[in-house]
Amino acid sequence: MHLLADPTQMRAWSRAERARGRRIGFVPTMGFLHEGHLRLVDRARERADRVVMSIFVNPLQFGAGEDWATYPRDVERDKQLASERGVDGLFLPDAKAMYPADPLVRVHPGPMADGLEGAARPGHFAGVLTVVAKLFHLVEPDIAVFGRKDFQQAMLVRRMVDDLNFGLEIDIAPTVRELDGLALSSRNAYLHGDERRAALALSRALRAVEQAWRGGEADPGPLARRGLDVLRAPGVAPEYLALVDEQMRPVVRVDARTVVLVAAKVGKTRLIDNVVLGEGVASDTSVRA
Give the residue closest to ligand AMP by C-beta. Answer: 147
Based on the shown chain and the rule CB under 6 A, indicate whether residue 30 belongs to the binding site for ligand AMP.
yes
With CB under 6 A as the contact rule, the residue among 135, 138, 173, 223 that binds ligand AMP is 173
Q: Contacts with ligand AMP: how many residues (CB under 6 A)? A: 16
Q: Does 183 bind ligand AMP (CB under 6 A)?
A: yes
Per CB under 6 A, 141 contacts ligand AMP: no
3-state SS class at 236: strand
Tell me if residue 37 is catalytic: yes
**Nearest distance in Å: CB 219, ligand AMP:** 30
- Kind of pairing between the strands at 2-4 and 89-91: parallel
- Of the candidate residues 17, 117, 140, 150, the single one contacting ligand AMP (CB under 6 A): 150
By CB under 6 A, residue 37 contacts ligand AMP: yes
- Report yes or no: 153 and 121 within 8 Å, Cβ to Cβ: no
Closer of 224 and 281 to ligand AMP (Cβ)? 281
DSSP classification of residue 279:
T
Greatest extent of the chain over all pairs of C-alpha atoms, in Å:
57
- 85 near ligand AMP, judged by CB under 6 A: no
Pick from 111, 61, 62, 116: which is nearest to 239 by CA? 116
Q: Does residue 186 interact with ligand AMP by CB under 6 A?
A: yes
- Say whether residue 152 binds ligand AMP (CB under 6 A): no
Residue 36 or 118 having the CB closest to ligand AMP: 36
Give the one residue of 149, 158, 207, 226 binding ligand AMP; rule: CB under 6 A: 149
CA distance 232 to 124: 26
C-alpha 202: how far from chain center = 16
Whether residue 13 contacts residue 51, with contact meaning beta carbons closer than 8 Å, is answered with no
- The rounded radius of gyration (Å) of the Cα atoms in the chain is 19
Q: Identify the CA nearest to 171 among candidates 67, 26, 18.
A: 26
Binding residues for ligand AMP, rule: CB under 6 A, are: 29-30, 36-37, 40, 146-147, 149-150, 173, 175-176, 183-186
Catalytic machinery residues: 37
